Chains A and B, each alone.
Chain A
Amino acid sequence: MNTVTASAAENFLPNGILAPLAPGFSNRKITLGKRDILACFRSLVLLVLLVLLFFNDQNGEALSDPKAYWLIGAFLATIAGMFFIKPQTFENKMVLPGFFLLDTVFITGGIYLTGVTDTDLFLIFFITVFISALSQDIKSVFGVAIVSCALYAFLQYKTTGEFFSEDTALLVRFPFLFVAAAMSGFIAMEGKKDKDEKSHLQAMNRFLAEQADSSTSKLLETNRRLKTLLEYHHCVLSSLKTGVIVARLDGTVRTFNSGAREITGFVEAEMADRKLEDLPVNLEPVARALQLTLQEGKGCLQDHLEIKTARSEAVPVTLETSVLKGGNGQVLGAIATLKDTSLLHQMETQLLRAERLSALGEMAAGVAHEIKNPLNAIMGFSKRLSAKIEEPNLKKYADIIAEEVRRMDATINDVLEYSRPDRVTKEPADIHKILEETVTFLDEKLEKAGVKVEREWDMEVPLVPLDLVKVRQVVLNLVLNAIQAMEKGGRITLRTRVTEGVAPESGAQNEALIFQKLFLKQKMVLVSIADTGCGIPKENMAKLFHPFFTTKITGTGLGLSICHKIIASHGGTLDVQSVVGQGSTFMIYLPLGEE
């Protein structure tokens, strides 16, 4: 608003002498140019001239003289003519004095028409001299004064026939005219000076105001950006899965992000501003690494590190520290990043196991083939022997050889079953029906073992594409295992439900599950078989699906690994959770396929 008012005043008084005289105008919003002001004053002069012509007409002929009308008409014409000239033209220094000189000529003409020089008409010259101050140029004011004097003297000469009459009053008038010129010129100059100063001040004010405005908005903008940046940094820090711990130069904790909280279990509020040496003992490796970085000015990397969480659980981590530097390179502190590598660790182990299994499978297949060829001959010839020998004892030996070969063959077939790529023929099947059939089939065994069966079935589970024979084999195997785990009886709970991807509570015991957990959100049916048996010791969990791993007196140790393979060949996964003394839960995940 300030700027608008200032510019309006500027327009109103372009270089106006009136500026210091009439400061009140500056608040109006009317814009008057130099031309308009000049036209007003000249009209005033014309009016005064008319009045004087009327009242001072000693001859009484002035107004009847057509010359008077010509004079007034010409004056009016010059006033009106001004409006045909562009306003900018009036900015020219020579234009305004030109009009003032023209006016003095008109005034002289008017006085001449009255026929009397010795009247108050002379005062009109003063008006012109004053008005000429509008030009704000002392030279033009004096020019007007000189011309007025000259014209008046000429008028004097015309009426009296001599330049200097005996009337001394007349002689006084000339100096007065110059005094008036000097005064109005001085006022005009002062006005101009004031005006210049004022406009300079105004410009200065405006400049300062603009500067202040832009500085303020810049400051606000910077402030806003800074706030956004801070929020952004905060979000980045708190969204990071990686733990970030920053220490100041004085060895106190500056930052302890939520990633660090999730990994270590310690809370930010309790860690912030603590001295590194006062951090909980479980975080000692981190504190030590930060201290070392602060002392030596260089970072370090510790792979395969294990730290204890607030709940004393061991977590494998990668710890990396680096020096925290400011924008101009000055050291501000040290920064430590903490990455939970347990999943990675697990995956590595699983991958290794999978590789080992696959190599084992290949080897088993190769060995089985090499053994089966000689077995073919041994079995065939021993049977031929048995057929040809009459002596009963020898016949029995031959039969024993054949029978032992048959046993060897059975074992080899198990190994081959495990190592051979499984082919499954999937057809939509009712998973509940499979479970029910298994329970019915094992009814006698369940009763004998004192095991009750509970069903927690989600009846919304649709038909699942699966190989009926093979999945039935898996379910049977798992339920049998459950019965065997409960020597003193117990309870088997069979649950079904549809899940999207792998259940979050899954311990992710194998690579396919970890992959599911990490990347896929596939619709799957979860069939879980939970027992209240002895549970599986932690050291056995990792080996559970290994071929030939068994804790039973009888058994090849291939049962679970074959189950695992069958489910895997369905694109599903088999997982287990177990607590020693409480029981185990086997979870079969079967994909529902695209609907």
Chain B
Amino acid sequence: MEFKKFTILLAEDEEASRLLYTEELEEAGFNVLTAANGLQALGILEDVKVDLLMTDIKMPDMHALELIPRVRAEHPDLPILVASAFKGMEDDFALKGCRIQGFFTKPVNLDALKAEMIKILESRVIAAA
């Protein structure tokens, strides 16, 4: 499939959720990489070219509000989605100047998530072309 070439990095400390996202996204044709915390995610981003980052907010080593600016420093145009148990945190990201492309509240509606990812990535392909 065409999506094969898109690599998605999942930063999620909950193992069950990580497995769920991985299975669902791989089934949808994405190439999925996983990180159990913020530092792991930053390490992967250094080594591999990633097309989209989906991150949890609260992870054992760092908060998404800390992780995102560090990612943005190296990859200013990387699409980032946030999924969290905290509802209504979108405003916090906007207030803190963290640019994100989407926010999902747990339990995440997986179909909506996949649709959003495809929309973002396709629009980038079109823009690039």
Residues of A within 8 A of B (CB): 365, 368-381, 383-384, 405-406, 409, 413, 416-417, 420, 423
B50 to chain A, nearest CB (A): 22
What residues on B are CB-neighbors of A381 within 8 Å?
Answer: 16, 20
Report which of B17, B21, B88 forms a contact with A373, defined as CB distance below 8 A: B17
Question: Are B20 and A405 neighbours in the complex by a CB distance under 8 Å?
Answer: no
Closest A residue to B15 by CB, please name it: A377
Closest A residue to B91 by CB, please name it: A423
| Also in contact, A379 and B107, with CB within 8 A (given A373-B17, A374-B16, A384-B23) | yes
Question: What 1/0 mask marks residues of chain B from 37 to 77 whose CB sits below 8 Å from any chain A CB?
Answer: 00000000000000000000010000000000000000000
Question: Are A380 and B87 neighbours in the complex by a CB distance under 8 Å?
Answer: no
Question: Are A380 and B20 neighbours in the complex by a CB distance under 8 Å?
Answer: yes
Question: Are B17 and A377 neighbours in the complex by a CB distance under 8 Å?
Answer: yes
- The docked-state distance in angstroms from the alpha carbon of A134 to that of B33 is 140
B86 to chain A, nearest CB (A): 6
What residues on B are CB-neighbors of A375 within 8 Å?
Answer: 106-107
14 A/B residue pairs, CB under 8 Å, sorted by A: A368-B85, A369-B58, A369-B85, A373-B14, A374-B16, A375-B107, A376-B17, A377-B16, A377-B19, A380-B17, A380-B110, A416-B87, A417-B87, A420-B87
Residues of B within 8 A of A (CB): 14, 16-17, 19-21, 23-24, 58, 83, 85-88, 91, 106-108, 110
* Residue from A375, A376, A381, A423 whose CB has the most chain B CB atoms within 10 Å: A376
A131 to chain B, nearest CB (A): 118
What residues on B are CB-neighbors of A365 within 8 Å?
Answer: 86
What residues on B are CB-neighbors of A406 within 8 Å?
Answer: 107
- The docked-state distance in angstroms from the alpha carbon of A406 to that of B105 is 12
- The docked-state distance in angstroms from the alpha carbon of A406 to that of B106 is 11
Given contacts A365-B86, A376-B17, list 8 more A-B pairs with CB under 8 A.
A372-B85, A375-B107, A376-B83, A380-B24, A384-B24, A405-B107, A416-B86, A420-B87
| Also in contact, A376 and B14, with CB within 8 A (given A409-B107, A420-B87, A423-B91) | yes
What residues on A are CB-neighbors of B14 within 8 Å?
Answer: 373-374, 376-377
Question: Are B106 and A373 neighbours in the complex by a CB distance under 8 Å?
Answer: yes
What residues on A are CB-neighbors of B24 within 8 Å?
Answer: 380, 384
Question: Are A376 and B87 neighbours in the complex by a CB distance under 8 Å?
Answer: no
What residues on B are CB-neighbors of A423 within 8 Å?
Answer: 91
| Also in contact, A377 and B20, with CB within 8 A (given A372-B107, A383-B110, A405-B107) | yes
* Residue from B20, B58, B86, B107 whose CB has the most chain A CB atoms within 10 Å: B107
What residues on A are CB-neighbors of B19 within 8 Å?
Answer: 377
Report which of B23, B86, B88, B107 forms a contact with A376, defined as CB distance below 8 A: B107
- The docked-state distance in angstroms from the alpha carbon of A375 to that of B14 is 11
B36 to chain A, nearest CB (A): 14
What residues on A are CB-neighbors of B20 within 8 Å?
Answer: 376-377, 380-381, 384
Ranked 10 nearest A-B pairs via Cβ: A372-B85, A377-B16, A379-B107, A376-B106, A380-B20, A376-B107, A369-B85, A372-B106, A375-B107, A373-B14
What residues on A are CB-neighbors of B83 within 8 Å?
Answer: 376
- The docked-state distance in angstroms from the alpha carbon of A377 to that of B91 is 25
What residues on A are CB-neighbors of B108 within 8 Å?
Answer: 376, 380
What residues on B are CB-neighbors of A420 within 8 Å?
Answer: 87-88
What residues on B are CB-neighbors of A368 within 8 Å?
Answer: 85
- The docked-state distance in angstroms from the alpha carbon of A383 to that of B20 is 10
- The docked-state distance in angstroms from the alpha carbon of A168 to that of B109 is 167
Closest A residue to B106 by CB, please name it: A376
Closest B residue to A365 by CB, please name it: B86
What residues on B are CB-neighbors of A373 within 8 Å?
Answer: 14, 17, 85, 106
Closest B residue to A383 by CB, please name it: B110
A410 to chain B, nearest CB (A): 11
B47 to chain A, nearest CB (A): 28
Closest A residue to B21 by CB, please name it: A380
